[in-house]
Structures are given as C-alpha cells and as structure tokens.
Amino acid sequence: MTAAQTPRRGPRERMVFGAAQLIRRDGVASTGMREVAAYAQAPRGSLQHYFPGGKEQLVNEAVGWAGSYAGNRIDRFLAALPTPTPGGLFAEMVRQWTDEYETAGFAGGCPVAAATVDCAESTASTREAVAAAFRTWNGSVARALADMGVPEERAGVLATLMIGALEGAILIARAERDVRALTNVSRELGPLLDGAVHKSGD
C-alpha cells in the first residue's frame, strides 16, 4: 500500500499516489511538498515540473486519484462476490477498512474526507475535486446497486447512504482505534440495503 512498494510507476504518478497516502494520514495542511517528494522517492525539483499549479494541483490530482480508485474498487468487489447483494457489497467496502486497520493500524483515513475537512472552505478548486470524487464513487456504487435490481431512483440515494455511513464509521473507528463502528454499521445497514432489491412495486 505504500509508494515504495510500487516503484513500477513513473515518478509523477508516484507523487500523486504518495500525496494521497500522506494526506489521508496527516491531512492536507500538515502534508508538505518536500515530504511528498521524499515519500515518493522522487526528486524535489520534479514537483514544480509536473505540478506547475503547485500544491493545489497536486492535492486535487490526489483527490481525483482516490475517487477513481474507490470507484474501480466497487467493480472489483462486485466481480469477487459470488452472489452480489447490496448488503454484501457494503460489507466488502467496510471490510477493506477493517482489514487495513487490523493489519496496518489506524494511521490513515480517507483522503477525500481529509481534503474536504481541510479545503472545503479555503480552496474552491479542491472542493470541486472532492465533489467530483464523491460523484465518481457514488456513480459506481449506484450502478452496482442498479445491476442488482435496486430501482434506479433509489440506487443513487442508497449509494450516498452507504458512502456516508462508511465515511462516518471510518472517522469514529480511527478516533477510537477500534473497528467496532465499522462492523456495526455494516451489520445494521446490510438488511436495509438488501431490502431495497426488486421492490419496484413498493
């Protein structure tokens, strides 16, 4: 999961990836450009070369990367599920985090959430990047739900519920250093989500 473990990518992509990693751990403001370069094992001089827009551009790209990653992840979860159900998908989304927290500790949260908290009011372009990331993510989840038989108009709403509940649970889990909030939310929401399937006549 660290940048050093994926040296195959070019330095530019490593820096975007590394920025996302550092942001989700320390927040946007506490993540320095020099730190990103060092973490990505990239030369400091490359920062201004690849990101002439400065930190703002780097952060926005990191957020965009995180949004795409989350979206793609949904498709992979779907493919891995033997019999896809909304609750099963949500359980997989949650499990990604419980797995990380149990094996790697509670160091990091969601980079999109971090960027929202730190930049929503101060940096307009980053706020838009965050909104776009949530949109991408939400779109993937909604599409997955629709494929499972959830009516179109409810798929988007439930996708937002899933993402929101997950983000909140991540927050609480990190604060408490306990995955309890994550497992709770998965168990409680599972039946509700499954109940939304195929009830078009509701």
Partner DNA sequence: CCCCGACTATGACAGTGGTCATAGTAGCCC
Partner DNA sequence: GGGCTACTATGACCACTGTCATAGTCGGGG
Other C-beta atoms lying within 10 Å of the C-beta of residue 12: 16
Q: Within 13 Å of residue 61, how many CA atoms lie on the same side as its CB?
A: 18
**To 5 degrees, how large is the angle CA 76–CA 62–CA 112?**
70
CA–CA gap between residue 132 and residue 154 (Å, rounded): 20
Q: Does 167 bind DNA (CB under 7 A)?
A: no
Site residues for a second copy, 130-149, by CB under 8 A, read: 130-131, 133-135
User: Binder to a second copy among 37, 144, 165, 179 (CB under 8 A)?
Assistant: 165
Q: Does 31 bind DNA (CB under 7 A)?
A: yes
| Choices 54-62, 85-93, 141-149, 159-167; region in contact with a second copy by CB under 8 A | 159-167
User: Judged by CB, which is closer to a second copy: 149, or 168?
Assistant: 168
Question: 120 to each of 20, 62, 175, 202, how far by Cα in Å?
Answer: 16, 15, 21, 38
Q: Which of DNA, a second copy, none does residue 25 bind (CB under 5 to 8 Å by kind)?
A: a second copy
User: Judged by CB, which is closer to a second copy: 41, or 122?
Assistant: 122
Q: Does 164 bind a second copy (CB under 8 A)?
A: yes
Q: Does 188 bind a second copy (CB under 8 A)?
A: yes
Which tokens go with 30? 């506490």
User: Judged by CB, which is closer to DNA: 44, or 180?
Assistant: 44
User: Judged by CB, which is closer to a second copy: 47, or 170?
Assistant: 170
| Binding footprint of a second copy on the chain (CB under 8 A) | 25-30, 106-109, 112-114, 116-118, 120-122, 127, 130-131, 133-135, 157-158, 160-161, 163-169, 171-172, 174-177, 180-181, 184-185, 187-189, 192
